[in-house]
Amino acid sequence: MARLHLQLRPYEPSSDDPFDSVKAAHLLNRAGIGGTKQEIDKVIEAGPLEAVERLMDFPDEGIEEQDPDGGPDLSAIDGYPRNFREVIRMFKDKSPLERKEFRQQLFKANIQALQQTGMWWLDQMVNGPHPLQEKLTLFWHGHFTTSARDERSAWLMWRQNELLRANAAGNIYQFVRRISRDPAMLDYLNNNQNRKKHPNENYARELMELFTLGIGNYTERDVTEGARAFTGWSHDGEDFVFRKKDHDTGQKTYLGKSGNFDGDDVIDIIFSQRACAPYIVGKLFRFFAYDDPDQYLVESLADVLRDNKFELRPVIKTILTSKAFYSDRAIGAQIKSPVQLLTGTVRLLDVPMPNMPLVFGALSEMGQIPLMPPNVKGWPSGRAWINTSTLLMRYNAGVYLAGGAVPMVRSGLRGGGRAGPTRGGEFQPLAQSSPDELVDHWLKRLIPRPVDDDKRDVLLKLLKTDGVNVSSVRRMVQLIVSMPQYQLC
Amino acid sequence: MNSPLSTRRLFLQKGLALLAAAPTIPTFLDRTMMALADPLDAKRVQQPTGKDGRILVIVQLSGGNDGLNMVIPYADDAYHRVRPSLAHNADTVLKIDNYMGLHPNLAPLKALFDDGKMAVVQGVGYPNPNRSHFRSMDIWQSAAPEIEHPTNGWLGRYFDNSCNGIDPHVGISIGETMPLAMMGQRITPLSFDRPETYRYRGADTKSYLELNQPGEAPATQPATRVGNTRRPAESATEESEMEFLCRTAMDAQLSSDQILRAAGQHKTKAPYPGGEFGNSLRTVAALIAGNLPTRVYYVSLGGFDTHAGERGRHDQLMNQLGLGLSAFNADLREQGNEDRVLVMTFSEFGRRVEQNASGGTDHGAAAPMFIVGGGVRPGVVGRHPSLTDLDRGDLKHNVDFRGVYATLLQNWLQSPSKPILGQQYKLLDLIKA
């Protein structure tokens, strides 16, 4: 076994460099959406290793395996056909007008179910028992991207969401085999149109380019040959189907190997490539720790994945316990994703999730609607989240959650309707301590890192001028969530 | 090389001081702040447009506009043959010549055409056309078909190459998301949906601005001493995430004040159509009237993906387009700005020549573009593509869209096009000398 890169070795607290609230909050921010004071205290008490083990203590299962009633309310699509056979049966005796009406009903029901699924997921991030599992599910959703746009079935999107959750920290090789059979994925990347006579290269290309190897590690010929291997991998609207008559059984030459390959063979060959492990662990490291890790670090982390036969848990654990993870380069240096910003604020202010049109409208204007990544590349990260428009929306959403004005948003999902007139009045901060105590309390709670004195003074001045009352504390908190520091974690 | 950052900081601080002093800034002070640009930048700097600079307005027709039913070859038998229920009758088409004419609902544009304020570029496209919305839109917006996942666009590269980086107003996109076309490496243009929502909604704007002011020192204190992984390149030249966020917040504040003011002050009798597209154009006209130093505006009209039941839908979109562009032109004429504003329309692709079984058309390739404005050399440019010599059922292009871009960059915006488009494309005769 190769030696672990110095920066990947476990961070060990010392009197010079204690495991303090800054580091504990950092762990909860990156391995979830942020922690409360009590949670931060528990993490400090547990220490960095034990805390990570607790965060990783979730089953490799979807929610419905963990709790049959735990999933979203999909009753909107009850009674609607779930596969192509049922659609044909239901359409058989209908007039064109009836069919049109039925299609419209189905479309509406599908949107409703998607909205339910999205809202359920956000709630799961805020209140669910396994924040790291949900954070990873969001990561994989942006990696094995599938969008509900183009009227994709809500039922398939939900099934895929569960697949991502069950495999979030599992075996990446098995994960790729499963996602390659996932109906929503096959639909999104057109593999149901990949037939021997007319191959469609979309899935075969993205499998290498975006999912496993990265650009530069294959040729156009490999795309064409890989597509041939995946011919006939299709779905019937509900389940994976291998359509034998559409499958090309001829000889293929793929990444230097030749044979009568099918999709599984292609995946095996991909996982024998040198470039595969670094591509995957590099993306995980950047997601959890920081951008641009040096290549030796990534190679060392890739060895961890290979040495553990493509199990993800040891890799995730290595990252979350590493010196690199707790370095200056990582702490407070990541721009929060819109989903993390919104769910984290709901959690830290302890307010109810706003209504669906408002949530999806705000997320849409910030650039991240769950279940609807913009394209196959998934969501951007870092500075790409920020322009003048999205930044104002981020600030305004925070202001609203802290009891301020309702942001004016468009509907984020078609059919969602206008944002309702909900007030941000649910935020009821205690207003009983001194201005200094209140400023420090809320700064620590929302920005768990040192803040310059001159910024602190701005907040203090407000409470001293206006006196301590619910209204002034609200306004002070509205200012904290409108600080650039709050955009970072 | 520390000057861009420090001048920006200076600019932002001065801007902040002014904002603290008064809720609005007189335009002449704005210019003074603009003039704080790095002098090294000066050579490639285009001056803010002020009252006399030229402005380009991009109108994106999203979804794949059926160009064949916009500029209609009414005298071509093949057109009527392949479009039994979608073809417009020859007697309803607004004839440009004895072969083709405009969609019946484009009468307001036909008036501009007859008035010498519009050019039609026929059969615009690119080699090996892609029929995916996303991919083809990326190609049109990046003007770099060879790059699979482009991260910047042709207008963004224009800003990078020809405009100084201190001015956040150089490009404005109306809409929820910033189009790839406007994204540059150095410059982040502005984007907003509606002027009235484009502002900070917190109660205490003054404190908010103080909290978002960039500091001289690194804004985040070292929180820990583990490891030694700080990137050596960071510091002097590289902007930190904090500085970046502060800069964007300041840009947003400076621009939202100006934009709200301009939008609120503008009065016009121009008959804009109802709906989002008309509102976007009205906003752009208001910002032009308000003398924003913006060189490129970007608006969209969506809904062109007419796979089924195309007739009513496309007719209605043509109506919106015609009314919108003619009201916009009338507004600019009232302002006395007609001759310094040029509009370009485009779509990611045209549609299949033959209609499909659902009374619609599928994704196609080449299509016409409109260029509208007082500075246009009016008329028709290029040949109408053949309706019988097709590429997989689609029209073949005669004009590369990058030739149109090059012409607008060089002859309208007076910027070199080669550094932006990678090579010198043949210029078209679209702009008055």
Q: What span, in angstroms and rounded, lies between the C-alpha atoms of A261 and A257?
A: 9
CA distance A60 to chain B (A): 33
For residue A387, CA distances in Å to A76, B18, B174, B293, B371 come to: 36, 23, 13, 19, 29
Q: Round the average pLDDT of chain B to a whole number and report it.
A: 84
Tens-digit pLDDT profile for residues B308-363: 889 999 999 999 999 999 999 999 999 999 999 999 999 999 999 999 888 899 88
Q: What span, in angstroms and rounded, lies between the C-alpha atoms of B125 and B269?
A: 37
Whether residue B229 has pLDDT greater than 80: no
- Contacts A326 to B, Cβ<8 Å: 224, 226-227
Tens-digit pLDDT profile for residues B169-210: 889 999 877 899 998 877 778 888 888 888 899 989 999 999
Residue indicated by tokens 């929180």: B223
For B322, phi then psi, to 5°, come to: -65, -50
CA distance B98 to chain A (A): 40
Across the interface, whether the CB atoms of B244 and A386 are under 8 A apart is answered: yes
> What is the reported pLDDT for B42?
33
Q: What span, in angstroms and rounded, lies between the C-alpha atoms of B66 and B310?
A: 9
Helix (H) or strand (E) holding B225: none
Whether residue A423 has pLDDT greater than 70: no
Helix (H) or strand (E) holding A179: helix A172-179
Whether residue B3 has pLDDT greater than 50: no
Whether residue B216 has pLDDT greater than 80: no
Report how far apart the first and last C-alpha atoms of chain A are (Å, whole number): 34
Extended strands (E) in B175-276: 190-192
> What is the reported pLDDT for A388?
87
Smallest CA-to-CA distance from B270 within B287, B259, B291, B286 is with B286
> What is the reported pLDDT for A1?
59
Q: Which residue of B has its CA nearest to A395?
A: B200
Q: Strand B94-95's sheet: what is its strand order? A: B71-72, B101-102, B94-95
Q: Which two tokens stand for residue B159?
A: 């800003």
On whether the CB atoms of residues A204 and A227 are closer than 8 A, the answer is yes
Across the range A268-276, mean pLDDT stands at 98
User: Looking at per-residue confidence, does B233 or B395 come out higher?
Assistant: B395
Q: Across the interface, which of B200, B212, B220 has its CB nearest the CB of A449?
A: B220
> What is the reported pLDDT for B251?
85
Structural domain boundaries in chain A: 6-55+274-321, 335-426, 435-487
Whether residue A466 has pLDDT greater than 50: yes
Helix (H) or strand (E) holding B243: helix B241-265
> What is the reported pLDDT for B44?
37
**CA-based torsion, B358, B363, B364, B366: positive or negative:** positive
Report residue B52's pLDDT band, with 50, 70 and 90 as the boundaries.
low
> What is the reported pLDDT for B166?
61
Burial group, residue B75, by CB count within 10 angstroms (0-12, 13-18, 19+):
middle
Which residues have C-beta within 8 Å of that of residue A61, sequence separation ≥ 6? A165, A166
For A363, phi then psi, to 5°, come to: -65, -35
Across the range A195-206, mean pLDDT stands at 90
CATH of the domain at B272: 3.40.720
**Range with the largest mean pLDDT of A77-91, B93-107, B287-301:** B93-107
CA distance B171 to chain A (A): 12
Residue indicated by tokens 């495991």: A19
The range of the structural domain enclosing residue B119 comes to 3-212+239-421
Whether residue A144 has pLDDT greater than 80: yes
* Cα-to-chain-centroid distance, residue B31: 24
> What is the reported pLDDT for B120?
98
Whether residue A419 has pLDDT greater than 80: no
Across the range A310-333, mean pLDDT stands at 97
> What is the reported pLDDT for A193?
87
Q: For helices A295-307 and A276-288, what crossing angle results, to 10°?
A: 110
Smallest CA-to-CA distance from A131 within A168, A104, A100, A156 is with A168
Smallest CA-to-CA distance from A375 within A383, A388, A384, A386 is with A384
Q: What span, in angstroms and rounded, lies between the C-alpha atoms of A30 and A25?
A: 9
Q: What span, in angstroms and rounded, lies between the C-alpha atoms of A429 and A402?
A: 9
Report residue A120's pLDDT band, with 50, 70 and 90 as the boundaries.
very high
Residue B228 belongs to a domain? no
On whether the CB atoms of residues B247 and B8 are closer than 8 A, the answer is yes
> What is the reported pLDDT for A291?
92
> What is the reported pLDDT for A459?
97
Report residue A421's pLDDT band, with 50, 70 and 90 as the boundaries.
very low
The secondary structure of A239-286 as a DSSP string is SEEE-GGG---S-EEETTEEES--HHHHHHHHHTSTTHHHHHHHHHHH
Across the range A397-426, mean pLDDT stands at 65
For residue B416, CA distances in Å to A289, B153, B410, B412 come to: 42, 16, 6, 11
Q: Which two tokens stand for residue A51?
A: 């805390």
Q: What span, in angstroms and rounded, lies between the C-alpha atoms of B139 and B158?
A: 16
Q: In this complex, is the C-beta atom of B249 within 8 Å of any C-beta atom belonging to chain A?
A: yes
> What is the reported pLDDT for B165?
61
Whether residue B48 has pLDDT greater than 70: no
**CA-based torsion, A272, A274, A278, A283: positive or negative:** negative
Q: Which two tokens stand for residue B59?
A: 């109108």
Burial group, residue B78, by CB count within 10 angstroms (0-12, 13-18, 19+):
middle
- Contacts B256 to A, Cβ<8 Å: 388, 392
Q: What span, in angstroms and rounded, lies between the C-alpha atoms of B168 and B186?
A: 11
Which residue of B152, B241, B260 to mutate against A (max A Cβ within 10 Å)? B241
Q: Which residue of A has its CA nearest to B234?
A: A329
> What is the reported pLDDT for A410?
61
- Contacts A455 to B, Cβ<8 Å: 210-211
Q: Under the phi-then-psi rule, with left for phi > 0, alpha for psi from -120 to 50, and beta for the rest, what region is B366?
A: beta
On whether the CB atoms of residues B191 and B316 are closer than 8 A, the answer is no
Smallest CA-to-CA distance from A157 within A166, A167, A147, A165 is with A147
> What is the reported pLDDT for B191?
85
Burial group, residue A224, by CB count within 10 angstroms (0-12, 13-18, 19+):
middle
Q: Which two tokens stand for residue A213?
A: 């190897």
Three-state SS at B370: strand
- Contacts A409 to B, Cβ<8 Å: 197
> What is the reported pLDDT for B1?
34
Residue B427 belongs to a domain? no
For B144, phi then psi, to 5°, come to: -140, 75
Across the interface, whether the CB atoms of A392 and B252 are under 8 A apart is answered: yes
Alpha helices in A308-434 (DSSP H): 313-321, 338-349, 356-366, 388-401
Tens-digit pLDDT profile for residues B74-120: 999 999 999 999 999 999 999 999 999 999 999 999 999 999 999 99
Residue indicated by tokens 């029901």: A109
- Contacts B178 to A, Cβ<8 Å: 387, 389
Whether residue A139 has pLDDT greater than 80: yes
Residue B79 belongs to a domain? yes
Q: In this complex, is the C-beta atom of B235 within 8 Å of any C-beta atom belonging to chain A?
A: no
Q: Which two tokens stand for residue B173?
A: 């996109």
Percentage of chain A exceeding pLDDT 70 = 96
On whether the CB atoms of residues A431 and A438 are closer than 8 A, the answer is yes
DSSP state of B88: P
Please report the number of interchain residue pairs, chain A to chain B, with beta-carbon separation below 8 angstroms: 171
Across the range B225-245, mean pLDDT stands at 56
- Contacts A382 to B, Cβ<8 Å: 241
Across the interface, whether the CB atoms of B246 and A478 are under 8 A apart is answered: no
Q: Which two tokens stand for residue B93?
A: 């088409």
> What is the reported pLDDT for A353?
94
Q: Which two tokens stand for residue B415?
A: 């910027």
Other C-beta atoms within 10 Å of B227: how many? 20
Tens-digit pLDDT profile for residues A215-233: 889 998 999 999 999 999 9
> What is the reported pLDDT for B151?
82
On whether the CB atoms of residues A333 and B241 are closer than 8 A, the answer is yes
> Using alpha carbons only, what angle is made at residue A98 by residues A95 and A103, rounded to the nearest 5 degrees?
125
For residue A485, CA distances in Å to A16, A220, A383, B348 come to: 25, 44, 14, 40
Q: Please count the CA atoms within 13 angstroms of the CA of B415 that sit on its side-chain side.
A: 28
Three-state SS at B170: coil
Q: Which two tokens stand for residue B39?
A: 């002098």
Q: What span, in angstroms and rounded, lies between the C-alpha atoms of B266 and B335?
A: 10
Q: What span, in angstroms and rounded, lies between the C-alpha atoms of B252 and A161?
A: 36
Tens-digit pLDDT profile for residues B199-211: 899 989 999 999 9
Across the interface, whether the CB atoms of B226 and A375 are under 8 A apart is answered: no
Whether residue B21 has pLDDT greater than 50: no
Q: What's the total number of domains in chain B?
A: 1
Residue B416 belongs to a domain? yes
Residue B334 belongs to a domain? yes
Helix (H) or strand (E) holding B297: strand B296-301
Q: Round the average pLDDT of chain A to a whole number and report it.
A: 93
Q: What span, in angstroms and rounded, lies between the C-alpha atoms of A230 and A240?
A: 13
Question: Predicted ipTM?
Answer: 0.92
Total-model pTM: 0.82
* Amino acid symbol at A73: D
Task: State the SS3 of B14-36.
Answer: HHHHHHHHCCCCCHHHHHHHHCC
